[in-house]
Structure 1
Amino acid sequence: MSHTTEAAGNLQINYTLSFPEAQAHYMDVEMNISGISQPFIDLKMPVWTPGSYLVREYAKTLESLTAEHNGKNLSARKINKNTWHVMLEGAQQVKVKYRLYCFEISVRNNFVSSAQGFIVGANTFLFPAGMLDNPSTIHIKPYKNWNKVSTSLDMVGNDPFTIHAPNYDILYDSPIEVGTQDVFGFEAAGVKYEVAMCLGGNYDKERIKKDLKKLVEKETDIFGENPNKRYVFIVHNYAKGGGGLEHLSSTVLGLPRDTYNTEAGYQRFLGLAAHEHFHLWNVKRLRPIALGPFDYETENYTTDLWIAEGFTNYFDNMVVHRLGLYTTENYFAALCTDINLIENSPGNKIQPLYEASFDAWIKYYRPTENSVNAGVSYYSKGSVAAMMLDLEIIQDSKTRYSLDDVMKYMYTEYYKVKKRGYTDEEFKQGLEKYAGKNLDDFYEKYIYGLADVDYNKYLGYAGLELIDDLAKSNQPALGLTTTVTNNKVIITTVIRNSSAWIDGLNVNDEITAIDGQQVMDVNAFIAGKKIGDKVIVNVTRDGLPLALPVTLLKNKQVKYRIASISNPSAQQIAVREKWLKQ
């Protein structure tokens, strides 16, 4: 897609956002464009937002688009799913109005209610075709008692309700919160930080400021600099839900409102903050070459999300541990969460890690009942790959280097010096530079291949081992998950090669009885059986009764933990200390 068809800056573009029907979840947008020299202008809505790799068809929320000049209506015809063709009839300026329905609670969609206006750039602002480099000004007319704007975009003058974007890439990468949020700040690593806590929550403001400051400085230490002048955390505290989305100079976090009530909940908040903040380097600046400049109208494929997301997933827990907020046992438990997820997913033997990255656009954000059997998370397996590479580098360099050094080198070399993204091979070369050896075998096994991970090889460098607490268990399992709805036991997942899979139980079957007994807790019932026992499972499928004989197989689930080996060597202790105490 061409970035420019006219010189950037030819057009004067102003948006006005208003919320006359916020209670009904509507935002009204007025777009004024002047300085047009063409007989027509095509206006486009992005179909996705960076950081969330799914075509979301944002144009589906747009209604009632009209165009006019000096009170005269102009033809504004939709010519494809996200483009409006406006005939100007000699006019050099045009006023375009449209409405957006904003009622999806997430970090990547607009959400408007009487309590707040959360504005996602890609979901809001039409752009003139070929003019992504054009600056724009946004004026916000707040609803009723809304009195604050939180965004990383700069104010125009001293008016917080008028902000400026130097181009559309930054506009689409700068969410805006308008409402009555609780705003407080701190300074860290020479950068001004703002936290906008939205919709309540039982949080300790001073503790958050203190801990986020430490977190920011720990992450800055890894890369050697903090490239922002100002950074904004927008935190949505809803009754339930969660998630996060990174941006160049801000992030949006979604958390349950009661998250802060427990120490475990508070640590989850810090872990999410650590993850999204780490992205300001890893992906927003140090990025796969495919991720920028963006084409906002189609998928932007990369095989490196295992680095962009998986490495970030690895470092978020590590940073919280380095802050002293996770004990070593907590940290090992967090690592094992990812390991157990991978090893209990049959899809780990089906989908290589590079392919999981590439197929994010069609698979990761569209999970089905069979996803656990067909794919692997590039977050979890990418995080484990990062752990293995970190330990390999520390071992091979005799504790001189670690994955931290790779991240700093790659950030400096590609973002700062070359001013572009990296290729697959270039990132591999960066890893090899600090490992001091060729990593073809690692890549062939674990990135492009489906080899079983030799966890104890890598953990062994640090005098640690992985122990499966279920290894000696001889419990049978059906190999399925269920949910109870209106007193009905419904199958929600069937695990590949399990008893249920082999003998024909299906997702959406209602289990009415096992061996003639009504059973609400299937796993508890099966736990009383032996491997090799046969049971009759009565189900209702598509309204028809069915009796299926099922032979119970061994429960193949694993439950790993990390423990120290007996008598680790001085070298193993040195690797462990370098790994855990950087």
Structure 2
Amino acid sequence: MKKTLLSSLALTCALAAPAAFADVQYQIKITNPAQHLAEVNIDFPAVSGKSLDVQMPIWRTGRYEILNLGKNVRQFVATNGKGKPLSFMKTDKGTWQVKTQPGDTVKISYEVYANALGERTQHIDDTHAYLDASGILMYAAPFRSQAISVKLDMPSNWISRSGMDKGSCDHCFVAKNYDVLIDSPIETGEHEFHSFDVDGHTIELAIWGRGNYDGKKMAIDLKKVVEEGRKMFGAFPFKRYLFIVHATDGVGGATEHINSTVIQKSRWGFAPRKEYLSFIRTAAHEFVHTWNVKAYRPKEMVPYEYQKENYSRLIWMAEGNTSYFEEVLTLRAGLQNRDEFMEEFAKALQAYEHQPGRFQQSAAESSFDTWIDAGGERARNASVNIYSKGMLLGWAMDIEIRHQTKGAKGFEHVHQYLYQHHTVDKGGYSEADVRTALKHVTGNDWSAWWAKYVDSTGEIPFTNLLPQVGLRYLVEGGKEDEQKEEWFTGWRTRDTGDHPVVIEVERDSPAWKAGVVAGDTLVAANGLRLTPKDINDKLWLLQQTPIKLTVFRRDELREITLTPSRQVKGKAKLKAIDAVTEEQKALNASWTGVAWPAAKPAASASAEKSKE
């Protein structure tokens, strides 16, 4: 295989003259799509030293996790411009050091295995290829800022699309440097395609895979997302934008890029409405990232370091604030209604109430530690999530800003300030820069607020904030004066065979205090067998406390005394407070971007009679 690749590379070099517009040239040839294999050839310009480190990133942007992407590389070969083999040594998990002579041009060839669809780094099969440079194309630091070209050798019926500019052929692309290349994935294959225009900017939609989606409706709704995004930030940071959608199975998620995004969803996950809203919210999230993360981001991540972790205490802003804006943007675009919007925030508050880790870890600490996420059964008890905590902080800051400015400004104006003053080409923003932006927008010093709720674990004061926009939070089950209750244990279980197994125990909950731990198999309650199907029913039917639990732990039978507590049974809601004022309604409308709903007219006597 090495000999074949070397011969192929030498032939390619002999026949192809360097393109005038590019200093680093990439060629990708799909050699065996069924086995997810491709051959990559790279032409680097003349080197000045006696070695050249050629590297594959160890993570990809948008996912703060070490992925060791070099593991998919085999058959690495290096030659000079005359086809002479160059010796090399692999020096770490993502670096190949090639021995050179000053003035040598360097040719690199290797085989890459591309079957990581869920990681959104690379995937090749007989219908398409998704190629994120971080998982398929190496770079050399001395040439990272050089112009590049990419040429694909694909099946003849495939069409190639990317946020990058087109090159000299249908499957060719060009970019000003490797950083643009790595942030402009290529989707090539068989797609449903739509295109539309917003303020002179071309927006494209490429859908791979069959499913229960309506591509035309998706394009219409994405146009509304794009239009609302421009209103929120004032200007586009791109000329053309590409939405890549994978309708598939077994994976899900999305990743932002400088002028494109890839969204993965179950092929049957675009309907009914609740599922479709999930897709639209995700699209809005990734589109907001075009500004928040790609146009401007924390200074510790400028420029990206591809061979190590990029630590920052502000990732809660980069990700969590984007989660907040996805909801606001989707509402303002008319793609979800006010009730659906309020439901999402009520759910977020309810989940936050049951996350004891909010008293263990601050948003800033969570951001820094996102590279070493606790995970597993401990996560909710020991940490907070940068997405959910950042969303709630964004919400709290938005309401407080509108309160301080009497509805004239909001949190989006803070992000507009960062976009205007701290773009990537200006070095990004610091924590002090964000506080400066807050003071610029409100006229007030936010240092104490920041210290309490961002740098520390102070409880976000929603009890005081929500009434400012005419709302209150409650868990409601039926009529308020007939609230239903249920027993609460604080465990989460999974179904495994005949008995449920505990996978998580909430800190300080009844189960926690009783000594139940993750991994316990719940066998019986007061001598009655517990099965996955009826575990809750049987506990509640006992109607007595304490309960004697029989569990297996490490294959040993033991008894635990559990005293469940009572909690309101029902759905978390955000509802209007009693006697809401016009000022509160106006502040609510300023926040949401939609008018406070008009009071429903009283039902007529005849209508009431007909109901009877």
1:539 match:
551
What's the offset of the Cα at 1:546? 2.7
1:503 aligns with 2:514: yes
TM-score, normalised to structure 2, is 0.88
What's the offset of the Cα at 1:240? 4.2
1:174 match:
184
Match of residue 243, structure 1, among 253, 256, 262: 253
2:273 match:
263
What's the offset of the Cα at 1:441? 3.1
Aligned ranges 1:235-314 → 2 under 5 Å: 235-314=245-324
Offset from partner CA, 1:140-160 (integer Å, 9 cap, x none): 111x46511121111212x12
Offset from partner CA, 1:172-208 (integer Å, 9 cap, x none): 1111111112122111132101111011223223222
CA separation in 2, counterparts of 1:392 and 1:44?
46
TM-score, normalised to structure 1, is 0.92
Higher mean displacement: 251-260 or 447-456: 447-456
CA separation in 1, counterparts of 2:497 and 2:338?
43
1:92 aligns with 2:99: no
CA separation in 2, counterparts of 1:411 and 1:206?
32
CA separation in 2, counterparts of 1:322 and 1:52?
28
CA separation in 1, counterparts of 2:71 and 2:566?
48
Amino acid at match of 2:256: E
Offset from partner CA, 1:39-58 (integer Å, 9 cap, x none): 32111111111221111111
CA separation in 1, counterparts of 2:567 and 2:537?
13
Higher mean displacement: 297-306 or 505-514: 505-514
Q: Is the 8 A contact 1:107 1:254 kept in 2?
A: no
1:438 aligns with 2:445: yes
Offset from partner CA, 1:540-575 (integer Å, 9 cap, x none): 223333333333344599953111112212211211
Offset from partner CA, 1:458-477 (integer Å, 9 cap, x none): 11111111123379665333
What's the offset of the Cα at 1:115? 2.1
3-state SS of 2:163 partner: coil
Q: Is the 8 A contact 2:484 2:568 kept in 1?
A: no
Offset from partner CA, 1:442-468 (integer Å, 9 cap, x none): 223211222222213111111111123
2:563 match:
551
Aligned ranges 1:317-332 → 2 under 5 Å: 317-332=327-342
1:421 aligns with 2:428: yes
Aligned ranges 1:33-112 → 2 under 5 Å: 33-69=44-80, 70-88=82-100, 92-112=104-124
Match of residue 536, structure 2, among 500, 523, 526: 523
1:31 aligns with 2:31: no
For the structure 1 residues 543 and 149, does the alpha-carbon distance in structure 2 shift closer, same or farther, using more than 3 Å as the test? same
For the structure 1 residues 572 and 556, does the alpha-carbon distance in structure 2 shift closer, same or farther, using more than 3 Å as the test? closer
Amino acid at match of 1:377: N
Q: Is the 8 A contact 1:339 1:380 kept in 2?
A: no
For the structure 1 residues 75 and 541, does the alpha-carbon distance in structure 2 shift closer, same or farther, using more than 3 Å as the test? same
1:4 match:
none
CA separation in 2, counterparts of 1:369 and 1:175?
35
1:370 match:
378
1:361 aligns with 2:368: no
3-state SS of 2:98 partner: strand
Amino acid at match of 2:526: D
CA separation in 1, counterparts of 2:524 and 2:111?
52
Identity %: 27
Aligned ranges 1:400-419 → 2 under 5 Å: 400-415=408-423, 419=426
Amino acid at match of 1:149: S
Q: How well do the aligned residues superpose, as a CA RMSD in angstroms?
A: 2.3
3-state SS of 1:255 partner: strand
What's the offset of the Cα at 1:332? 0.4
What's the offset of the Cα at 1:433? 2.0
Q: Is the 8 A contact 1:152 1:250 kept in 2?
A: yes
1:343 match:
353
Q: Is the 8 A contact 1:189 1:226 kept in 2?
A: no
1:455 aligns with 2:467: no
CA separation in 2, counterparts of 1:61 and 1:560?
46
1:12 match:
23
1:379 aligns with 2:413: no
Q: Is the 8 A contact 1:145 1:179 kept in 2?
A: no
CA separation in 1, counterparts of 2:303 and 2:283?
26
For the structure 1 residues 459 and 75, does the alpha-carbon distance in structure 2 shift closer, same or farther, using more than 3 Å as the test? same
Runs of 5+ unmatched residues, structure 2: 1-19, 595-612
CA separation in 1, counterparts of 2:404 and 2:45?
61
3-state SS of 1:372 partner: helix
3-state SS of 1:290 partner: helix
Q: Is the 8 A contact 2:484 2:570 kept in 1?
A: no
Number of equivalent positions: 568
Aligned ranges 1:122-133 → 2 under 5 Å: 122-133=134-145
CA separation in 2, counterparts of 1:527 and 1:428?
50
Higher mean displacement: 105-114 or 385-394: 105-114
Q: Is the 8 A contact 1:10 1:36 kept in 2?
A: no
Runs of 5+ unmatched residues, structure 1: 1-8
3-state SS of 1:37 partner: coil
1:397 aligns with 2:413: no
Q: Is the 8 A contact 2:393 2:460 kept in 1?
A: no
What's the offset of the Cα at 1:224? 1.1
3-state SS of 1:500 partner: helix
Offset from partner CA, 1:202-246 (integer Å, 9 cap, x none): 322322222111211111011111121111111111124321111
1:217 aligns with 2:227: yes
2:130 match:
118
1:183 aligns with 2:187: no
1:160 match:
170
For the structure 1 residues 488 and 111, does the alpha-carbon distance in structure 2 shift closer, same or farther, using more than 3 Å as the test? farther
CA separation in 2, counterparts of 1:404 and 1:572?
20
CA separation in 2, counterparts of 1:528 and 1:342?
29
CA separation in 2, counterparts of 1:279 and 1:505?
41
Offset from partner CA, 1:316-374 (integer Å, 9 cap, x none): 111111122222111100111221221111111111111111111111xx621210111
Q: Is the 8 A contact 1:340 1:558 kept in 2?
A: no
1:6 match:
none
